Amino acid sequence: MRLPVAVFLAAMTVIRAPFGTLPGGTAVEVFTLTNGHGVEVRAMTYGATIISVRVPDRAGRMDDVVLGFDNLDDYLTKGRYFGTIVGRYGNRIGNGRFTLDGSTIQLTANNGVNHLHGGAKGFDKVVWKAEPFERDGNAGVTFSYRSPDGEEGYPGALEASVAYTLTPRNELILEYTARTDRAGGSRDRGYVGHGRPGTSRVTGTRATVSPRLVLGSPRGALRGRSWARLHQAPTDPGNGAGRESGTASDLPEPDQPGPQP
């Protein structure tokens, strides 16, 4: 049995510990990042998943503000992409097909006839390699995974990594890198809530993002997506301005859709 090992990085700590075993016998580990203010981030090697983020509220009480489970079995049987890295593609691909270099690529259909979040065994369902690190006074862990050519139907091999960095300023930074000889794209599926476990609903949460581009889609459609440039920065969600009509988004109305710049 592997005992937890603490690596002390100035005022930061990284604790590496076992988190369970997959049915095939592969061990899963969890990394706990903590800074001098008591902010704590836990992430495991299965799916490079963020399990919890504990931060103080305005009264100094510590609460977990992301959705997740306390044990590996629940992620295997009840998981809904909570906190995972999904890929190679995040979202649905209609009929599980796309065209690349003039050839039609058929992917695994795992959402009816569609392909969702990388397929039946996407990045969220594999064990990633992990390395803790110290960088510029911060502490974190880098997860990496090599997706072989043909996995879930995708052409070409892909080397993917994601680094989770906790800073002394209570920031959690996510950095993604990928190298491939063909096209693809992954993303994080973190669900953020407020309040103590069991006391809040994620539907009552509002978040503000500041993108330069958004990928739009006709309502209810998977095809016809196109990039749209935002003509202004998102406004403060507290004043109700800048939201798209009929949505929970705080994005301002985009300019006319067009090709990706």
The per-residue pLDDT for range 218-239, each reduced to its tens digit, is 555 555 455 565 554 444 444 3
Domain spans of the chain, in order of start: 5-201, 212-261
The CATH number of 5-201, from 3.30.465.10, 3.30.450.40, 2.70.98.10, 3.40.1260.10, is: 2.70.98.10
Mean pLDDT estimate for the chain: 78
> Who contacts 58 (Cβ-Cβ below 8 Å, separation ≥6)?
none
Is the preceding omega at residue 206 within 30 degrees of 0, hence cis? no
Q: What is the mean pLDDT of residues 199-219?
A: 62
- State pLDDT tens for residues 242-256: 333 333 333 344 444
pLDDT band at 63 (very low <50, low <70, confident <90, very high): very high
Task: Tell me how far apart the alpha carbons of residues 216 and 249 are, in angstroms, rounded to a whole number.
Answer: 13
Does residue 205 surpass a pLDDT of 70? no
Query: Does 175 have pLDDT greater than 50?
Result: yes
